[in-house]
Amino acid sequence: MVRSNRGISLIESLVCIVIIGIGFIAIMQLSAFTINSMDRATEKNKLNYLSEMVMEDMIGDPDNASKYGSFSETCGYANKGGSNLYDKMKDKWRNKLSEKNYIKVNNKDKKPSCKTGDTKKTFVNVGTKNTTGRVNFLTGTGKRKKYLGVVVK
């Protein structure tokens, strides 16, 4: 006589729960990775915007381009003041780089992260034929680098 199996055994149901649990864990790790990746992308977009702003200010004042090369900031920002255009531009850069200007994410202000080792510097090379400018941004404790260089004049 053949007995028919009715229902699901306890072992089969436990195996099913374990497989579904592993799937949920993988989905949770994937979502955490995605959120972290979006934060890094937002930070990179902010750095791109700021580095382009610095270069546009240098290009906008080519006669004083050599004066823009002395900009070097870490996490402690303070306006230095000055009546010259290049001093005012450097103060504008400090304000943009400081935590006063936030990034809006989901209608909430997100402060740009600033850790030890994060620096923002400008370099200007005045040559005989042309003047070149370069911006170096080191973020993520100096591990992530953003360089932008242009011919100013």
pLDDT for residue 153: 72
Q: Say how many domains are in the chain.
A: 1
Q: Is residue 35 part of a domain?
A: no
Q: Is residue 31 part of a domain?
A: no
pLDDT for residue 102: 60
Q: Is residue 121 part of a domain?
A: yes
pLDDT for residue 147: 72
- The closest alpha carbon to 102, from 41, 33, 51, 42, belongs to 42
From the first residue on, what is the mean pLDDT of each consecutive set of 10 residues in the chain (153 residues)?
Answer: 68 91 94 87 79 80 77 70 76 71 66 69 77 77 71 74
* Spatial distance between the Cα atoms of 142 and 42, rounded to a whole number of angstroms: 17
Helix or strand run (H / E) with residue 125: strand 119-126
* Spatial distance between the Cα atoms of 121 and 150, rounded to a whole number of angstroms: 14
Q: Is residue 56 part of a domain?
A: yes
Q: Is residue 124 part of a domain?
A: yes
SS3 134: strand
Domain that holds residue 114: 48-151
pLDDT for residue 28: 93
DSSP string spanning 91-107? HHHHHHHSTTSPEEETT
pLDDT for residue 103: 63
Q: Is residue 113 part of a domain?
A: yes
Q: Is residue 11 part of a domain?
A: no
Q: Is residue 32 part of a domain?
A: no
pLDDT for residue 89: 79
In this prediction the pTM is 0.59
User: Exposed/middle/buried for 148, CB within 10 Å: 0-12, 13-18, 19+?
Assistant: middle
